Amino acid sequence: MIRKILIPGRPKFTKNYEAAVASYGAIPVVSLSEPSIEDYELLILPGGGDIHPSFFNQTNTASRNMDYELDKVQFRFLDLFVKAGKPILGICKGMQLINVYFGGNIVQNMTAEQLAVHSYENEDSYHLIFFNTLSPMPFKNGLRLFPGKLQVNSAHHQCIDHLGQGLTTLQYSLDYIPETIAHISLPILGFQWHPERLFYNGKDSLGPFLHYFLKDS
């Protein structure tokens, strides 16, 4: 069976996500039109510019490349999938959208020391992340998905501040930036890093997570 995966974004910025989904054998659908969610098995919230700070009750101090109309659409799609209990993957900005949706907020600009690790100029930064042994594991065989430590790519100047209700941090960096979050009871997972453009053994590292959410569909 061919699975359809919804990606709410602007097509010129979603090519990496589309390629990763297609390489898994699913059909990526990039759309900003409100969906019939029964047609889709998974929502991917992609990376992009910063969330408009009004969504987490702040004024703008350091956010940039904002797209308020896109934010509204992505929050609407997220709400539809949450209420339907359908799987959601958030990547970079997408993870931050998940956090804000559940009542968390965002650091609008990290410290200079943090930016030296996590930010980038023309290409990704790379650094280690570590599994949070104190976090509840909402996924079966979770340690196979989330090893004790992992080398990941990084391309962000913002990060999660307060974690949203029902969310837990599964992986974090050496400077304790949340790198992977999950909902403790819903099929929701977020990465601050970019698995769709990180490859191990010739395969993008998004594949195992797509498989996890779609294998029983």
Domains for the chain: give ranges and CATH numbers.
Answer: 4-214 (3.40.50.880)
User: Once rounded to an integer, what is the mean pLDDT over residues 70-80?
Assistant: 98
Instruction: Please give the Cα distance from 135 to 200 (Å, whole number).
Output: 26
Confidence of residue 141 (pLDDT cuts 50, 70, 90): low
| Chain segment 145-164, per-residue pLDDT in tens | 888 899 999 889 999 999 99
Paired tokens of 107: 């650091």
Say which amino acid occupies 99: N
pTM (2 d.p.): 0.94
Confidence of residue 217 (pLDDT cuts 50, 70, 90): low
Q: What is the DSSP letter of 207?
A: H
The position carrying tokens 């997570």 is 209
Say which amino acid occupies 103: G
